[in-house]
Structure 1
């Protein structure tokens, strides 16, 4: 599995608008992306920490194909949307182990 994380620094006064726009975009632009298994937006629990967006792809090739896709273009088309100007840091990781505990 290939995991992408994006740390997004969103000012607290635009956090609510950012969350709405970001989640709406996730729901409308990511459904059906080949190789994408899961995506999440995590809200920081302390002031001054960034939001964390995650995407889990089957492979690096699936991620790279998404970067060239209409879905990617649509998700990033509104450069005036809340949070689009925020500093961010994208990181790429290969999953070594994934342990799921049954409850």
Structure 2
């Protein structure tokens, strides 16, 4: 069953461009992740959420395999290198797809 994960990122305004740059580097790598059907990086029009990372997977198992992979660790390793953490908060939500056209 298809699986969707949305991660709402709350980012300080002065960090927006840096965060966009990080995810721009990720977009091509996600094409090679087994089971990843779609990767979207969305910029919100609302003030309370800065960005949403939307991923669609062929199964929950594929998503979990990616979470436990070297590719995931590599994609997230640079986040601790800066003195100021760009994300002030996030809200991770996941869904099993019931209907799809």
The answer (yes or no) to whether the contact 1:7–1:51 under 8 Å persists in 2 is yes
Matched, 1:92 2:86: no
**Could you say which residue in structure 2 is the equivalent of 1:2?**
3
Q: TM-score, normalized by length of structure 2?
A: 0.84
Q: Residue 70 of structure 1: CA displacement?
A: 1.1
Report SS of the residue matched to 1:39. Answer: strand
Q: Quick check: 68-77 or 82-91, which moved more? A: 82-91
**How many equivalent residue pairs?**
98
- Give the alignment's TM-score, normalised by structure 1: 0.83
Q: Report the structure, 1 or 2, having the larger strand content.
A: 2
CA positional deviation for 1:27: 2.2
Structure with more helix by fraction: 2
Unaligned 5+ segments in structure 1 are: none
Q: Distance in 1 between matches of 2:21 and 2:85?
A: 11
For residue 45 of structure 1, report the CA deviation from its aligned partner: 1.2
